[in-house]
Amino acid sequence: MPWITALALGYVSVTYFMFGFKSDASVFFEYWFGHVLIGIYFSTLAQFYAPLLPSPAVASILAGVTTSFVILFSGVFLSVSDLRGNAAGLGWAFMYYLDGLAHILRLEALPVFFCAGADCPTVNIVAPDGTQQQLFTYDYVSGRLGMTYERRWEALGWTVLIIAFFRVLSILAYRKVNHTRR
């Protein structure tokens, strides 16, 4: 855990300002905390796979597949409205809510892009019919992630529950799974 914290601080200290995010200490530390949670989330998944699977190679393969799905359903490529909006997405919408990375990204992105007032930054979006729409950046991000700034702490609660769930499963796997017995 100290390594995850230190590495996240080193990474965020450079990239946060390189991206041009707000010069606000509380927003910086919320963003850093999100990166710490990302490290904890993925290390928890790795610790879950290690005792569960027969070899490190198989665990690495499953971790790669899991990472692909986690990123796909985190709200970066497919938003929650994309998954809810059509009949094909109804079967996958649950993944968005079970995905720890989706909750962490909400916790990270909403404070960074939050803005209230008329002088907020905007982004041009091309609608499916080809027309351009100008949206406030925060409105676009909150719509994409399916959550508002005021509700961002719900994302922390879900993240902690998901991490705790996989930690408990890891402990059970270490106690109950033994690949040396036949």
Sequence-distant (≥ 6) Cβ neighbours of residue 158 within 8 angstroms: 97, 100, 103
Residue 124 lies in a domain: no
Report the number of distinct structural domains present in the chain.
1
What pTM does this model have? 0.84
Residue 72 within any structural domain of the chain: yes
Per-residue pLDDT of the chain (182 residues; tens, 9 = 90+): 788 999 999 998 899 889 888 888 999 999 999 999 999 999 999 999 988 888 889 988 999 999 988 888 887 777 776 666 555 555 677 777 788 898 898 888 889 889 887 788 888 888 778 889 888 888 888 888 888 889 889 989 999 999 999 999 999 988 888 776 65
Position 140 in a domain: no
Residue 25 lies in a domain: yes
* Structural tokens at position 122: 């905007």
| Domain that residue 158 falls in | 2-112+147-176
Tokens for 112, please give them. 């960074």
Q: Which residues of 82-121 are buried (b: 16+ CB within 10 A; e: fewer)?
A: ebeeeeebeeebebbeebbbbbbbbbbbbbbbbbeeeeee
Would you say residue 75 lies in a domain? yes
Say how far apart CA 42 and CA 63 lie, in whole Å: 9
118 falls within a domain: no
